[in-house]
Amino acid sequence: MLSRAFLNIEDKFEDKIGPRRPRYVRVNTLKLCIEEFISWFEYEGYEFVPCTIGTYNDYLSQVRNLTESQFLQDYHIKSIFVFHTDTKFYDHELYTNGRIFLQDKASALAVHLLAPEMGSTVLDMCAAPGMKTTQVAAHINNNGKIYACERDPERQNTLQNIIKLAGAHAELIAKDIFDIKKGMLDDVEYILLDPSCSGSGMDLYDYKQAGAEKLQKLTDLQEKLLRHATTNFPRVKRIVYSTCSLLPEENEKVVSNIMKAAKGKWQIQSVRELLNNQWNNFGSGEAHSIAARCLYAKPESDLTKGFFLAVMDRNPRDWSKCISMSSEKEKVETKKIMEITRQEKIAKRGKLKANNKQIEEVAKPDFQEEEETEAQNEGGEPVPTVNSEDEGHSKNVVAIDKKCRKQKRRTDGESQSLNNITDNLSGLLMEGEEIPKKKRKIDKLKQIEESEPNASHAEDISSNNITCGEEIPKKRRKIGKLKQIEESEPNASRGEDISSNNITCGEEIPKKRRKIDKLKQIEKSEPNASHGEDISSNNITCGEEIPKKRRKIDKLKQIEESEPNASQGEDILSNNIICGEEVPKKKKRKRHVDINEGAEATQIRSDSEFTKKKSKKMNIDGSE
């Protein structure tokens, strides 16, 4: 028998779902910067509507009011953009060359909430066609390891093509996931489980075809898969289970059964809390106590396809057992390293206090050395890990020890210098005086540091289970670099601009930025060509044409001021990619709007298919 919920859904959605949902576009930040994406569509004649800083419900009103010529950045996921339902993308060059994907916001939430760290290892258990696999790759900026498992040979091909098209680093596991036994992928830390389901949340789902027997088969498979995920990957810390179904049988019931069997080894995280209370639909708590912690996306209110997801974290006590699996020898060595570095750090702190100048000398060469190592790792080469084999072991430990010490020296030096700068500044400030730019920036960096302990000091790194030899996350390195700039260029306000434009260390300053700087220089040397006050004082009468250079400066200033999104955490990740790639020369294009277009963005094309201009139909969010 099908559930009552099932029948209710049929009644409720009969004329509500369908082609009226907006179009969601995910920017593939492995190939295109968010800023470039916005400029591209603005150039095509669309108006970019920045998401108001309000509640999720405020954002939903904006989506409802979106016109055909506007687009909006998503409230939760900064690489997702919302277009009017009639916007057509199938022939758009950004779509055909893998710079954007048509992925519903609800489905993108699964990776958003999995939130794997840079350098981590992720398993996508049911991966084809690869929307979430490629999203994970973009999320970790190809910095880590992704296993993409798919059992269906035809879908394996599609998956491979999508991975290639996206420029994602992911290893295809062309197998049934049940063939992956304990011990085969022991390095996996995050699992995405998005199994086959009824697809009852999809627009084109045919309720009349669904039968109780089919549903039972599906729920059996879903439970088996989730049990496999929770029991065969000893180092996994987080699992996100998702379906594009609105049936509790495939959702909270499956999760609840597995959690009962796991007997306290796993905890369901509250998605409400993870999304800072900015979500409206959750499971119903009556039948399954965990339901209220799980997310539902509903077409009529969230303006997405129907979707369910649950976030499961391994219970910390159980996690400690996983750590204890490492060999005794490894543990002793790790302890030694920790002790040596702790003592070194204490000694260094004393030194630094005595002579602040020394800090820069100690920290600078280390920083450069580390950047060289990082550059070598960029080609997807795995970061070396501790090997328990006798011969290789000691060498690796020495290498890791060296790297740990380097990281610690750097972070010590940074925090010390930062404290000194702030102390000096606060000493100089009078009450009521405006806080200088540099000071404000330092405060901001301190805030980031405080709110993101993982991104901070060496002590925090160790206590948050970042193992020696693991890379320090990019944002952390950015903070470090900015601090260096600050220290070495006390008069320069450029540091502030760099941070607001999300430039990662080592990355080139984007063209626009350089242009702005150049124009600022011109401004300084030619004050008449600049500010509003200057115009009046230089007798430019109403109606007189403002000189070209002047207009350009104003425009660039406007751009600078009007890009608040570029400073958000998520953008730091997503904007630090390929900004070296040239944006194709833009000519005025006509907007791709086709009011007769059908319901769902369900077309996926492989590389060769793109060239041949043929297409194969498949639900991009995976329902088969």
| Start-to-end Cα distance in the chain | 23
Task: Work out how close the CB of 157 gets to ligand SAM at its nearest, in angstroms, rounded to a whole number.
Answer: 11
List strand residue ranges (DSSP E) for 273-357, in order.
295-297, 307-314
Of the candidate residues 166, 177, 185, 445, the single one contacting ligand SAM (CB under 6 A)? 177
Distance between CA 61 and CA 67 in Å, rounded? 12
Per CB under 6 A, which region of 90-98, 172-180, 230-238, 381-389 contacts ligand SAM? Answer: 172-180
CA gap 333, 346 in Å, rounded: 20
Q: Which is nearer to ligand SAM, 78 or 132 (CB)?
A: 132
Shortest distance in whole angstroms from residue 564 CB to ligand SAM: 31
User: Which residue from 29, 141, 196, 232 is in contact with ligand SAM, where contact means CB under 6 A?
Assistant: 196
| Pairwise CA distance, residues 475 & 220, whole Å | 42
Residue 47 bridge partners (DSSP) = 70
605/611 Cα distance (integer angstroms): 10
CA distance 295 to 272: 8
Query: Residue 463 is encoded by which pair of tokens?
Result: 């206590």
Nearer to ligand SAM, 150 or 523 (CB): 150
41 or 296: whose CB is closer to ligand SAM? 296
- Residue 195 touching ligand SAM (CB under 6 A): yes
371-430 residues in contact with ligand SAM (CB under 6 A) are none
Lookup result for tokens 């009852």 = 200
What Rg do the C-alpha atoms of the chain give, in angstroms?
26
Question: Distance (Å, rounded) from C-alpha 221 to C-alpha 214?
Answer: 11
Closest approach of Cβ 175 to ligand SAM, in Å? Answer: 7
How far is it, in rounded angstroms, from Cα 153 to Cα 159? 10
Kindly write out the interface string for residues 108-147 of this chain, putting x where it contacts ligand SAM by CB under 6 A and - elsewhere: ------------------xxxxxxx---------------
Select the residue interacting with ligand SAM from 178, 285, 380, 395 (CB under 6 A): 178
C-beta closer to ligand SAM: residue 303 or 604: 604
Binding range to ligand SAM, per CB under 6 A, among 170-178, 312-320, 354-362, 379-387: 170-178
Scanning 193-201, 387-395, 535-543, 545-553 for contacts with ligand SAM by CB under 6 A, the matching segment is 193-201
Of 151-159, 453-461, 513-521, 580-588: span binding ligand SAM (CB under 6 A):
151-159
Instruction: Extract the annotated binding site for S-adenosyl-L-methionine.
Output: 150, 176, 194
Q: Closest by alpha carbon to 531, among 557, 508, 506?
A: 557
Nearest residue (CB) to ligand SAM, 257 versus 278 = 257
For residue 416, give the nearest of 505, 345, 491, 338 by alpha carbon. Answer: 345
> How far apart (Å, rounded) are the C-alpha atoms in residues 570 and 139?
9
Give the residue with the Cβ less far from ligand SAM, 114 or 572.
114
In the complex with ligand SAM, which residue's Cβ is closer, 194 or 507? 194
Task: Please state the closest distance from residue 1 (CB atom) to ligand SAM, in A.
Answer: 25
User: Using CB under 6 A, which of 31, 151, 405, 475 touches ligand SAM?
Assistant: 151
**Binding site feature residues:** 150, 176, 194
Bridge partners (DSSP) listed for residue 172 = 148
In the complex, the smallest distance separating the C-beta of residue 556 from ligand SAM, rounded to whole angstroms, is 40
Q: Which of residues 592-621 bind ligand SAM (CB under 6 A)?
A: 621
Closest to ligand SAM by CB, 116 or 495: 116
> Which position's Cβ is nearest ligand SAM?
622
Interatomic CA distance for residues 576 and 583, integer angstroms:
15
Min dist CB 123 to ligand SAM, Å, is 11
- Segment 68-75 long-range contacts (CB within 8 Å, at least 24 positions apart): 68/591, 68/593, 69/45, 69/591, 70/46, 71/25, 71/41, 71/46, 71/47, 72/48, 73/48, 73/565, 74/24, 74/105, 75/51, 75/278
Q: Which of 194, 333, 401, 486 binds ligand SAM (CB under 6 A)?
A: 194
Nearest to 563 by CA among 36, 190, 76, 11: 36
Of the candidates 325, 329, 323, the residue with the CA atom closest to the CA atom of residue 393: 329
Instruction: Mention every residue, 6+ apart, whose C-beta is less than 8 A from residue 605.
Output: 96, 614, 615, 616
Are 168 and 566 in contact by the 8 Å Cβ rule? The answer is: no
CA distance 269 to 265: 13
Among the residue ranges 64-72, 148-156, 462-470, 532-540, the one whose residues contact ligand SAM (CB under 6 A): 148-156
Write down the least CB distance from residue 299 to ligand SAM, Å: 18
* Nearer Cβ to ligand SAM (229/352): 229
Helices (H) and strands (E) in the chain, counts: 24, 15
Name the catalytic one among 244, 404, 468, 579: 244
Q: In angstroms, what is the minimal distance from the CB of 407 to ligand SAM?
A: 35
Tokens linked to 278: 């900015």
Please list, residue by residue across 181-193, b when 16 or more beta carbons sit within 10 angstroms of its beta carbon and e when fewer do.
Answer: eeeebeebbbbbb
What sections of 143-211 are H helices per DSSP?
153-166
Nearest to ligand SAM of 36, 249 (CB atom) = 249
At its nearest, how many Å lie between ligand SAM and the CB of residue 149? 5
Is residue 244 part of the annotated active site? The answer reads yes
CA 272 to chain CA mean position, Å? 19
Classified as helix, coil or strand, 88 is coil
Residue 330, class by beta-carbon neighbours within 10 Å (0-12 exposed, 13-18 middle, 19+ buried)?
A: middle
- Applying CB under 6 A, the span of 188-196, 252-260, 363-371, 608-616 interacting with ligand SAM comes to 188-196
Q: Which two tokens stand for residue 241?
A: 């289970």
Task: State which of residues 74, 117, 150, 486 lies at the interface with ligand SAM (CB under 6 A).
Answer: 150
* Shortest separation between residue 197's beta carbon and ligand SAM, angstroms: 6
> In the set 17, 114, 149, 218, which binds ligand SAM (CB under 6 A)?
149
What whole-number distance in Å separates Cα of residue 466 and Cα of residue 2?
Answer: 47
- Residues contributing to the site for ligand SAM (CB under 6 A): 126-132, 149-152, 155, 176-178, 194-196, 621-624
Q: Which residues are catalytic?
A: 244
